[in-house]
Structures are given as structure tokens and as C-alpha cells.
Structure 1
Amino acid sequence: MRVVQWATGGVGKAAIETILLHPELELVGCWVHSAGKGGRDVGELLGREPLGVRTTTSLDEVLAMDADCVLYSPLVPDRDVVAALLRSGKNVVTPVGWFYPSERDGAPLAAACEEGRSTLHGTGINPGGITELHPLVFSALSSAVTFVRGEEFSDIRTYDAPDVVRHLMMFGGRPEEAMGGPMLGLLSGGFVQSVRMCLDALGFSRDAEIRTAQAVAVATAPIDSPIGTIEPGLVAGQRFVWEAVVRDRVVVRVAVNWLMGEEHLDPAWTFGPEGERFEVELQGDPPAHVTIKGWQPASVAEGLARNPGVVATAVHCVNSIPYVVAAEPGIRTYLDLPLVAGRAHPDLA
């Protein structure tokens, strides 16, 4: 299957590496945002030998390519671009949205899928995995489910996107700026879809109320970070929570906990004895509580070089491609696709 990679940030570069290892996929194109990256061999951008695939900054060139799928991973999605890709007959897999869109939000892209006989699938890790797929997987081993949870605990210093961390997430800013900033709204676009997928798939009441919450912690002493020193009184930790409530009872909870380390915070938030992790919890008969390690780096330096959570996001997208290409046209979620599996290392195949 012929694949075009759209954007070469952390997810994009990891996706290219994964495509090259996947026995069913071939990289045939790569779109880049900046003119300085245009017209270069993709291998050069990855710091490896030439691959014989050159980058382009032109949407029209991508639309004209003979390709089965585009892995669409820009920092900020453009629905019109996704629609154009779908209308051109190319399937689209993406970690930046459309995990479980409402009928109204998905209608324009569903129409593009129908016109191009193509498929759109949103996937990833958080959202796109921990917050809906994994709770649903474990629900298959339980009866009479009353509660599911997907939650992240991460040191945000390991996220190599300094402009995003400072200017979008508002770390290092004043608490009132972070609380009034765009982050809760931006995150809610994906995480509310996660909550709704859990509600619908598990059969909770359609009258469930979805509530959101945000809290910040500030530095009590200077904190060194990749975005510069976080001075006392400025934002050094954030929590975002989305909960679905049925008859005054929380039945679904999705949360992220992002800290600039565990020292010098007020409130004195920590990751606890378990350290950085992802958690999945399910209450039913029997219950389940799963801790996932390995998707956070061992150190800040390691994370800035290659963050395993970013890699996992990319790999989940790449491994979905064969199943999405084989799917019926339309917007397809986890509830529509078969089990997505990885592939053996080439040395062991």
C-alpha cells in the first residue's frame, strides 16, 4: 500500500520510520510545511541515507499522487485539506481528530468520503487509545460496568515542542492566562469524543452530562525547563478532566496530568509512587486496574531526543493503515474496524 506522510514533526518522523519497517507499506510522498524542507530527500530530514522520495509543500502535488493513504499529522488540522484528500480518493489516517465525531461535525468529511470512495480514521494514543479504545477492550472481561477511566501522568518537560508548551499550553505564564487560554477548548474537541464513544459503546444513558474541569499548579521556586526557567508564581503544572455523569454518578472519566517535574509545586502535585504512566480503570464484575509503562521516557533528555509516547502515537496510526484501506468508505472508528495489530520485526518475519 502506497502511503504519503503529511508533516514531519515528531509524529511525522516516527511515522516514516514505522512505514519503512512495515512489510505492507511503501512511502511514496511527503508533504512539509516550510519551504526550507521542500524538495529534499525524506531520508535527509531523518538523518539517514536517501530514500528516493522527495518532499513537497504543494497540496496539489499530493492530490495528484498515486497513493492509497495519507497519514495526516500536522500540528493543527485543516478540515478543508482533509476533505480534499478524501475527495481525491485517498484514505486518511490521523492522530489530530475525528476519533468519534458527531453526525453534524462529521457530515462534510463523510460527504468527501462518499465522493472519493475513501475512508477517514482518527487514532493515536491520548486521545485515540488510552481514553476510549483501551477501556472498551477491558470492558469485554467485565459485566455490569459502572465506571471507566483513562488517565495520563506525564512530565511535560519531555515534550519537544517548546512553542506549543509555552504559548499554547501556557506553561510559564500567569495562572489566569492558562485558565482563560485556549487549551481546554482545544483538548475537549478530542477528549469529549473519547467520552462519548465510551458512553455509546457501553450503553450508558444518552442523557449523560459531560463536565469539564481545569486546574493549575504554580512554581514555588525557579524550575529549569526546556522552555526556560519557570519563575515562582507561574504555571508549572496543569490538570484537565472530562467526566460523564449519569444520575449524579460519574461513569466515564478522562484526565491528563502534566507537570514540570515533581518539585517546587503549589499545590504539591506529584505522580505518586508509580511515577509517570498511563492508567486504565474499570469498575464492574470483575473490576480491572491497568498501569502502562514505557510510553514515557526515562529522562528529560531522552524524551527530547525521541519521546516514546509520540512514537506510540505514530505507530498506532501506521499500523491502522492496512485496515483503513480495506474498510468500506466513510468515517470509520474503532467500533467499525477489526482488531488492529502491529507487524513482526523484519529480522523475525
Structure 2
Amino acid sequence: MSDRRKYRVIQWATGNIGSRALRAVIEHPDMDLVGLYVSSEAKAGKDAGELCGADPVGVKATNSAQELIALDADCVLYMRQGIDWDEVCALLASGKNIVTTRGEFHYPAMMDAGNRARVEEACRTGSTSIYSTGSSPGFITEAFVVPLLSIARRHDLLTIDEYADCSSRNSPDMLFRIMGFGQPMAPFDQRRAEHLKGDFGSSLSQLGEAIGLPIDEIDAQGELSAARNRLEIAAGVIEAGTVGAMRTTITCKHKGREVLRFRANWYVTTDIEDDWQLRDSGWRVRTEGDTPLLVDVHFPVPEEDYAAFTPGLTAHRPVNAIPVVCAAEPGIRTTSDLPQIIPTFS
């Protein structure tokens, strides 16, 4: 019999990512699911296994935060839409560590001072820690790039290009109304760039501090490019001349010099008016310095399996981080101060 520790885990929310994390906890050899929070009245009372496509596990979902705050658990996977600071602080103060996909905790120095103080006090009270991670930001902006930089002694610029082909996503409201694909060309809505600046700017700023190049300026810019030809995608029709691709660039500077850059290339067609060198979904990472590197990351998954594959990119790293976060010193933890996250499979 294995003498490895079993972690008592609460899953908080069951959206696309939360449902995948829930199933990963249920199937994990070193974890026991002990609680499940749902915001929907319709889901309350249902078995956790039913809500993620697994067999029944005997844990019923609840929409009572207080019920779960009072529950004995080692860690909460906090994956709700939006953040409730009272909820987070109550969980931490009750003795539960938190791993979250929320972006507010990537770099404590950039947090609102009042919220940071509240969270740190809750961590001291509960002797707990909180850590934010996921695929992007998180894995690609922190964990993946540190080994690439570890062979350098002069750093000029790190550029991370993210490519996301949205053409197979059958979500008309998301693609057309919220994201703006297929809409008439117009100036880029700078609010979209500022939104990404918060999460990606803080994640890259954590990296900048870790490598001795603290960030003192963050710039966010967005661009749109029109589709050259009319096409049909899963969500509907993109007319020629309407928005076919969008690119948001987050640039971090140290003493006026660009040192870290993230570009989000989201598109429904690669046949666009601008030469953005779009490619299939994944990442391209370029380091410039005395040991330059160019690394391409692709997702070798059939198109018909893609929708089932992508949630794991964000959900699995938080699950794998639970043992490390539970063993960490109390406080707001970051990738740069935690040990390497290593998964266990059996």
C-alpha cells in the first residue's frame, strides 16, 4: 500500500475548466474529493461525478459557501467566474490552501494594496497559501520559459506568441458579439488590451523580478486584421472585409528597454490582409540574448477531439500544484518561489 499523503480537495465551480479539474481530482491517486461548490441552483444536490462525466462518487454539490468553508479540507481549487474577496479570505483563514486559475495573484506587488493585505492576513490566520496558475498566463509565461532562460548570461528580449484558431468553436455569441469576429473593421477597443494587460502584465512582471530585470512600464496594444474572403466557420459566416483576426501585444520594459513580450494572436482564418505569420494553435517562444532559442509548441490533436482536449491545458496544472502549495510557506505564492511542479500518475 502506498504511504503517500492523500489530499482532501474542494472543487470550487464547474465551468468548462472547473469540470475538467473536478474529474482530474476524482481520478487522481493521491486526492480525495470532499466538497464541490456550484453557483447554479440546478446543479446543487447533484453528485460530483455526474457533473463531470464520471461515475458517482458520493459527494453532492452545494451552493452554500459557508458549508464548504466549515468543511475540513487541505486545498480548494478556486475556479469561479469573477472573484469574491470575502470568500477567498474566509477559505484561507479556515485553514484551506487555494490553487486558482484567477489572474489576480500572479504578482503580489501589482495587487490592490487593500486586497493584498487582507489575503496575506487570512494566510497568516490559517497558516495557508494561495497560488495562481493555468496554461496562459501561468505555464507558458512562467514555468515553460524559465528553463529556456537558464542557459543565458545576457538577456535581450523574450517574445511569447500565442496562436488560437477559434474557427472550430461553435459559440456565436462569444465569437461574434463578445470577441468581435465578423464585425466591420473599426479601431481596436483598447479596453480589451487593458484587460489582458492585467493578467499577462502581472505574470511577466513576476518573471522580470525573478531574473533581476524588474518591470517599470507595461504597454498594451491591440490590432485587427480583415478576412480576405468570405468563409463559413462553426459559429457562422465571416464576410470578406470584416474582422478575421485580432492581435494583442503586452510589452514589459525595464529602464526603458523592452525585455518581455506576450502576443495573443486569435483568429478564425489565416487568410487575412496583414502578414502576421499565423499558424496552427499553440505557442512560439523566442529568446534573444547570448544563447538565442526559438521553440514551437503545437497541439497534435485531431480537430474532432480539440474541444475535449483544450480544458486540460488550463485545468491540470492547478491540480498537479496542490501538493506543492500545501507544503509551501503561508502567503501569496508564485511560480518563481515554489519548487517545480511535478505530477504523479499512479
- Contact 2:101–2:134 (CA under 8 A) maintained in structure 1: yes
* Alignment partner of 1:67 is 2:73: yes
The alignment of Structure 1 onto Structure 2 pairs a total of residues equal to: 336
- Counterpart for residue 84 of structure 1: 90
Report if aligned partners of 1:168, 1:183 keep a CA contact under 8 Å in 2. Answer: no
| Further displaced range: 311-320 or 147-156 | 147-156
Structure 2 residue 313 is the aligned partner of structure 1 residue 307? no
TM-score normalised by structure 1 residue count: 0.88
Q: Which residue of 2 is the match for residue 116 of structure 1? A: 126
Aligned pairs (5 A) from 1:16-95: 16-95=22-101
Contact 1:69 1:93 in 2 (8 A): yes
Q: Deviations over 1:278-320 (max 9, x none)?
A: 12222233222222222x7432x4323x133x20211100000
Q: CA RMSD in A?
A: 2.3
Give how far 1:124 is off. Answer: 0.7
Distance 1:157 1:30 in 2: 33
Amino acid at match of 1:90: K
Distance in 1, matches of 2:294 and 2:153, equals 15
Deviation at 1:5, TM superposition (A): 0.9
Which position in structure 1 is the counterpart of 2:195? 186
Task: Give yes or no for contact 1:158–1:297 (8 Å, CA) kept in 2.
Answer: no
Displacement of 1:96 in angstroms is 1.7
Counterpart position of 1:280:
285
Aligned-pair identity (%): 34
Compared with structure 1, are the counterparts of its residues 95 and 156 closer, same or farther at alpha carbon in structure 2 (3 Å cutoff)? Answer: same
Give the Cα separation in 1 of the matches to 2:231 and 2:36. 38
| Counterparts in 2 of 1:83 and 1:173: CA distance versus 1, 3 Å | farther
How far apart are 1:12 and its partner, in Å? Answer: 1.1
1:321 maps to which residue?
322
4+ runs deviating over 6 angstroms:
none
1:233 CA displacement: 3.9
Residue 156 of structure 1, aligned match among 157, 161, 166 = 166
Which residue of 266, 279, 289 maps to 2:294? Answer: 289
Q: Is the 8 A contact 2:168 2:233 kept in 1?
A: no
Residues 130, 151 of structure 1: 8 Å contact kept: no
TM-superposed CA distance for 1:229, in Å, is: 2.3
Please list every run of 5 or more consecutive structure 1 residues that lacks an aligned counterpart in the other structure.
none
Corresponding residue to 1:99 among 85, 98, 106? 106
* Distance in 1 separating the partners of 2:234 and 2:258: 37
Residue identity opposite 2:106 in structure 1? F
Tell me the distance in 2 between the aligned counterparts of 1:252 and 1:237.
23
The question of whether the paired residues in 2 share the 8 Å contact of 1:160 and 1:303 is answered with: no
Matched, 1:132 2:139: no
Please give the alpha-carbon distance, in whole angstroms, between the structure 2 residues aligned to 1:143 and 1:330: 31
Contact 1:215 1:238 in 2 (8 A): yes
Match of 2:4 in 1: none
CA distances 1:260-284 after superposition (whole Å, capped 9, x unpaired): 1323x33364524xx3321222223
1-structure distance, mates of 2:139, 2:154: 22
Letter in 1 for 2:309: N
Instruction: Specify the code of the residue in structure 1 equivalent to 2:223.
Output: A
Q: When the two structures are superposed, what TM-score results if normalisation uses the length of structure 2? A: 0.88
Task: Trace 1:144-293 onto structure 2 (pairs within 5 A).
Answer: 144-158=154-168, 163-176=173-186, 179-180=188-189, 182-204=191-213, 208-246=216-254, 249-263=257-271, 265-267=272-274, 269-272=276-279, 275-293=280-298
Gaps of 5+ in 2: 1-6
Aligned residues of 2:194 and 2:220 also touching (Cα < 8 A)? no
Compute the displacement of 1:231 (Å).
3.3
Worse-superposed segment, 190-199 or 103-112: 103-112
